[in-house]
Structure 1
Amino acid sequence: MSLPVPSRSALIAALPAMFVLLWSTGFIGARFVLPHAQPLTVLGLRFAITVLLFLPVIWWSRAPWPATPILAGHAAVTGLLLHGAYLGGVFVGIAWGMPAGLASLIVGLQPLLIAVAAGPLLGERVSARQWAGLGLGLVGVVMVLGEKLAPAGATLFEGFGWPAVAACLFALVGISAGTLYQKRFCGGLDARTGAVFQFGAAMVLMALMVWLTGEDTTIDWTPGFIFGLAWLVVVLSVGAVTLLMALIRLGEAARVASLFYLVPPVTALIAWALFDEKLGGLALAGMAVAVAGVAMATGGGTVTRKQPGA
C-alpha cells in the first residue's frame, strides 16, 4: 500500500534531516566501542551482523537480487568505498588518537570534492549559488571545530600523528568516490539486496586487513561495547546508510554531499549532550553559518544536467 502523495512528499522532505541526525551519531558510536576492541575487528563484526540482518528482510519482502553479475559487482565496489575505505579510515584514525570532532571535520570536506568531480563524472553542472553555499558551509565547519584546528603551536598534533591524519584523508577520498560511484553505476539496484553485496564486500576486506596486519581480535564484551555495536549496526549501517542510498537516488550528488557539512556541528551537539563537551560562541555561530551554507547549496533548481556534447 503506497503512501498518499502529501504524506510521501513530507517523508521525502524529512529524509535529509533524519540522515544528518543518524549519520552524526557514528562518531559517537566509535567512541563507545573502540576502547574495547581494535578498529578493523569492530568493523568486520559490524558488517557481518548487518548482512545477517538484511537476509531475513530480503526473504520476507522478496526483494529482487541484482539483474546481472556486473550490477552486483558495482554494488560490491560501492561497499568497498563507502564502508571499507570510509569507515575503515575513520575508525583507524580515531583509534590512533584523532579526536572524533577533527575526524568529522576532515571528512566534512567531502562536498568540495563531490562538487568538483560531479561535473566531469556525472554531467552535473554546479551553479555559482551552490559553490557559494559549499564555501559558506566549509567556513561554518571550520568555525565549529576551530579550537581543534588551532591549539597551541607545540601541541598541534598532541595525541596523534600524521598516520591518523592520513587515515582520515583516506576516508574522505573513500566516501567521496563511493558517493559518485553509487550515483553513476547503482541506480537500478534494490537497496536491500544491494546492501548485502556492499557490506559483504566490506566484511571480506576487513577480514583480509585483520589477517594482513595481525590485529588483535580480542573483544571486551562490556555493556558499553554491546550498546555501541548495536547502535552502529542498526542505526548506522541499516538506518543511515539506507537513507544515504535513497538520497543519492533522489537528488544530485553535489546536493546530497552538501548535507555532510551539517554532520560536524550535529556531532558536536550530541557530544555536548552525552559527554558534556562545551560549545563556545564561535562554535554556535559556526553552526548557523554551516546551516545557511547547506540551505544555499541545496536550494531547488540550482543544479542542471549537462546535455550530451555540452
Structure 2
Amino acid sequence: MIRRALISVSNKQGLEEFARGLQSLGVEILSTGGTAKFLREKGIEVKEVAEITKFPEILDGRVKTLHPLIHASILAKRDDPSHMRTLAELGVEPIDMLVVNLYPFEETVLRGAGLDEAVEQIDIGGPTLIRAAAKNFKWVAVVTSPEQYGSILKELREKGELSERTRLELARRTFAMTSAYDAAIENYLGQLEGEKLPKILCLWAEKLQDLRYGENPHQAAALYRWGEGLAQGRKLQGKELSLNNLVDLDAAWSLVQEFEEPTAAVIKHTNPCGVASAENICQAYRLARECDP
C-alpha cells in the first residue's frame, strides 16, 4: 500500500493532477525545493524533506535528498524486523513511492549549451534516489515519467495498491533510464576529448515509435533514437513509415552529407537513382528526379 510518496521532478508536466490523485488516496507527499513550491502554489499539501532530515538544502540545491534518513526510508526491507526497528529508532517512516525525473542533460547538450551549463545538468541526487527505489521494488514503486502517471493512478484506484509485477516493470525501466542517462554523459565527455575508439563503448537508444512492419510484412520493427541524426527529424505528411522507408531515408541523408552545396538524392532500396546539387534545394530536387524519370 502506498502511504508516503517523495516527489522531486524537473519536468512538471501532469504533476498537479498526479499529486492530487495521490492525495485523494490518502498518500502523504514529501518534496524538495522547486517541486514543493510548485505543489504548494497549486494548493497541494507537502512536507519538505528538510523537515525529516533536519538538514537544509545546500550548495545551490546540489545536495537535497542525499541523506541517510531518506535512503533508509527507501531501502528498508518491510519484512525484516531489524530494518523496521532501525527506522523506528531513527524516527522515520518508510517511503513507498518515488516520483522523480532527471535533469534534462541530453536536451541541454543538443541545444548547444557549453560545458559548464551541461555539467550543471548532470543529475546526482535523482539517479541515486530512483536506483535505491528500483533495488527495493518489492516494497517501493518508482515513477520516472509523466507518461506513467495515468496507469499508476488507475491501478491504485482500482486495486488499492500496485502489483509486484508493476513495481518490477517500473524498476526495470528505471535502470534502463539511468543507464541511458549515464551513457549520454559519457558520450558527451568523450566527444569533448575527441575520443573515437573508447575502451568502453556505451550505447543506448530510445524507442520513438513502432513501425508498420520490418523488412518484410511478417516482421515486427520499431524506430529507436540515439543522439543526433535522422530520427530527430519530423514527418510533415503521409502514412506511417516502414523500416524500408527509414533505411532509404538514412541512405539519402548519408549521401547528401558528402556535399557542401544544396543537394537532393532519390533512393530506391538504398541505391541512388538520382543525385543533384544546385543553388537551392528545390532546383536540386528537380534535377535529381530528372536523373531517372
TM-score w.r.t. length of structure 2:
0.27
Q: Which protein is richer in strand relative to its size?
A: 2
Higher relative CO (CA 8 A, sep ≥ 6), structure 1 or 2?
1
Q: For the pair shown, which has the larger CA radius of gyration, 1 or 2?
A: 2
The structure carrying a bigger helix percent of its residues is 1
